[in-house]
């Protein structure tokens, strides 16, 4: 059984569904990428999985039905999301952002250890621990967003466009970092990304979503080798 | 000199009340980003509930505790029934709802307890000799109590925000509700809690002010205007700023009303508001409010 199993997901804002009929699965320890053009429904799918918007269809996380669960319940089950635009809690300091990330946990010792761990992973954040998070650069905010989501000790990390607004160099660092999290912690990651080359570089499998509909799962290598996808999303 | 001290103390006494009510406004604002125009009326209603309790033979201190409890319930119910269903982006609708609540509470109190001013007992005895002399001026025990309680409530709220997990969750929910939800924070509950805290502060304030103003349905009218001014001046998201601004406004109003003859007592509210306007032209987020600076 897959960690995350979605069948026939419909979701949208208000009257019109943007996503109609998405099926996808993510297994333990796997990196899965969701590719697609602007407006295809990638972010809508992510927001529907986390319970931020109305949705229907079959959504199961580790066997538990989450199709009616509220966002906070879904986090408690072990599914964390780095939202598009990074979701920085601008008025809190960097360290407070991480503490807020551990909201669902009660183990003080473990929380303190994890904060140290993420400060070790991203030393730039440690340097700015007392600074207001809203003042960080885009790259630093993205590091903070990933660390904050990881502070809940999730079993599946959803990442919505981590490269948004970052320089190519920073984007590469970000993907290297996600890949390390996947390898070192065996963290399952579902990634939405416009930068298909880099995303497929760290992914095991991928899906292509087109106007609210998702195709069959394919291996990352297969997707990267597909001429149509190369032309549309890889740009060479 | 004596007159100056008297005016300062007079101003501070009023300023404490403005600051108290401003603190309640800030609690609501920090939870749901709304201005609760019925905050004063909720406090007034709590004072009437305390009055009903004293009439039933409950000692004053316990009557005030009952008023606070009534405030907590009222705040929770208002948030759940009138505010939450309107959604997050219904700013003007909610402003109108609070005006409606203002009128409803006012009318209900009038129907139950009538329009005549009622006497409300003080916590400490308040005979002719019950005061502390300060440079020839008198500070009543009740006024002192109000000031001490304001300091205590402010300290408690600041400590809650700064040192507790709940406070961190509240600040997270205010700063970025969607991120808060994605971190497992129950944003709705946090919002309700903000309204309950605010109403509890009002529930404490109402019965303590009532002996001075007498207990009437309109006892909080002007206080609310000054409190809104104080919260604006101090910065709507800063509890300490709101209290300090309340004191500043109280003192300025008293001094200007006393020393500038054409202002007198008739125009002092106008003067306070003009000062407010000038400050806000220079610092739109208030004296102590956080200006939102964000890099994206």
Q: List pLDDT tens digits, range A197-217.
A: 888 889 999 998 887 778 777
The closest of B44, B203, B92 to B83, measured between CA atoms, is B92
The closest of A85, A71, A11 to A41, measured between CA atoms, is A11
Answer whether residue A51 shows pLDDT above 80. Answer: yes
Answer whether residue A236 shows pLDDT above 60. Answer: no
Tracing tokens 């300062």 back to the chain, one arrives at: B8
Per the rule left: phi > 0, alpha: psi between -120 and 50, beta: everything else, A8 is left
Nearest chain B Cα to A102, which residue? B183
pLDDT at B80: 93
Residue A36 token pair: 């697609």
pLDDT at A28: 94
Structural domains for chain A: 4-87+154-234 (3.40.50.300)
Q: Residue B292 — pLDDT band, cuts 50, 70, 90?
A: low
Residue A126 token pair: 């440690």
pLDDT at B294: 53
Q: Residue B186 — pLDDT band, cuts 50, 70, 90?
A: very high
Distance, in Å, from the CA atom of A131 to the CA atom of A96, rounded to the nearest integer, reads 10
Distance, in Å, from the CA atom of A197 to the CA atom of A208, rounded to the nearest integer, reads 14
Distance, in Å, from the CA atom of B285 to the CA atom of B170, rounded to the nearest integer, reads 20
The DSSP H or E segment spanning A22 is strand A16-26
Structural domains for chain B: 2-282 (1.10.3470)
A104 to chain B: which residues are within 8 Å by CB?
183-184
3-state SS class at A30: coil
A85 to chain B: which residues are within 8 Å by CB?
296
Q: How far is B296 from chain A (nearest CA, A)?
A: 6
What percentage of chain B has pLDDT greater than the value 90? 55
Residue B16 token pair: 């404490």
**What is the rounded (10 degree) CA torsion for B273, B279, B280, B283?**
-160
What pLDDT digit, counting tens, does each position of A15-49 carry?
Answer: 778 888 889 999 999 999 998 877 788 899 999 99
Is residue B254 within 8 A of residue B8, CB to CB? The reply is: yes
Angle, alpha carbons B209-B220-B194 (nearest 5°): 90
Distance, in Å, from the CA atom of A95 to the CA atom of A111, rounded to the nearest integer, reads 11
Q: Which residue among A71, A88, A91 places its CB closest to the CB of B290?
A: A91
The closest of B197, B32, B167 to A103, measured between CA atoms, is B167
B172 to chain A: which residues are within 8 Å by CB?
89, 92, 100, 103
């Amino acid at each position: 059984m897959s960690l995350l199993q979605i069948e026939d997901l419909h979701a949208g804002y208000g009257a019109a569904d943007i996503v109609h009929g998405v099926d996808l699965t993510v297994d333990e320890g796997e990196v899965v990428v969701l590719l697609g053009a602007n407006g295809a429904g990638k972010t809508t799918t992510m927001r529907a999985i986390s319970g931020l918007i109305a949705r229907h269809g079959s959504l199961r996380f580790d066997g538990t039905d989450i199709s009616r669960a509220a966002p906070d319940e879904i986090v408690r089950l072990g599914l964390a999301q780095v939202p598009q635009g990074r979701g920085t809690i601008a008025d809190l300091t960097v360290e407070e952002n991480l503490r807020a990330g551990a909201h669902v946990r009660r183990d003080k010792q473990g929380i303190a250890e994890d904060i140290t761990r993420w400060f070790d992973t991203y030393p730039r954040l440690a340097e700015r621990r007392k600074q207001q998070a809203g003042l960080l650069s885009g790259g630093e905010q993205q590091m903070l967003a990933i660390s904050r989501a990881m502070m809940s000790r999730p079993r599946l990390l959803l990442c919505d466009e981590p490269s948004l607004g970052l320089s190519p160099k920073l984007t590469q660092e970000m993907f290297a970092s996600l890949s390390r999290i996947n390898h070192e912690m065996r963290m399952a990651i579902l990634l939405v990304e416009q930068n298909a080359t880099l995303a497929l570089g760290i992914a095991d499998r991928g899906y292509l979503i087109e106007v609210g509909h998702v195709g069959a799962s394919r291996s990352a290598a297969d997707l990267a080798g597909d001429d149509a996808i190369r032309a549309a999303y890889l740009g060479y | 000199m004596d007159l100056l001290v008297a005016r300062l103390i007079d101003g501070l006494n009023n300023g404490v009340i403005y600051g108290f009510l401003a603190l309640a406004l800030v609690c609501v604002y920090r939870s749901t980003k709304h201005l609760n125009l019925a905050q004063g009326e909720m406090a007034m209603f709590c004072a009437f509930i305390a009055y009903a309790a004293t009439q039933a033979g409950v000692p004053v201190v316990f009557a005030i505790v009952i008023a606070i409890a009534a405030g907590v319930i009222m705040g929770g119910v208002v948030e759940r029934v009138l505010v939450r269903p309107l959604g997050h982006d219904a700013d003007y609708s909610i402003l109108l709802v609070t005006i409606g609540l203002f009128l409803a509470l006012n009318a209900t109190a009038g129907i139950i307890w009538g329009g005549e001013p009622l006497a409300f007992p003080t916590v400490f005895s308040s005979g002719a000799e019950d005061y502390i002399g300060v440079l020839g001026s008198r500070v009543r025990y009740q006024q002192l109590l109000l000031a001490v309680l304001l300091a205590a409530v402010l300290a408690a709220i600041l400590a809650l925000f700064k040192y507790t997990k709940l406070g961190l969750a509240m600040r997270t929910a205010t700063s970025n509700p969607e991120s808060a939800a994605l971190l497992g924070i129950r944003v709705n509950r946090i919002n309700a809690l903000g309204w309950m805290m605010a109403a509890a502060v009002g529930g404490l304030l109402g019965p303590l002010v009532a002996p001075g103003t007498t207990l009437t349905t309109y006892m909080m009218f002007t206080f609310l205007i000054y409190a809104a001014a104080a919260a604006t001046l101090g910065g709507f998201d800063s509890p300490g700023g709101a209290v300090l601004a309340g004191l500043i406004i109280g003192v300025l109003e008293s001094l200007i009303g006393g020393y500038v003859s054409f202002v007198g007592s008739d125009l002092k509210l106008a003067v306070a508001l003009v000062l407010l306007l000038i400050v806000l032209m220079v610092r739109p987020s208030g004296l102590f409010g956080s200006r939102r600076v964000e890099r994206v």
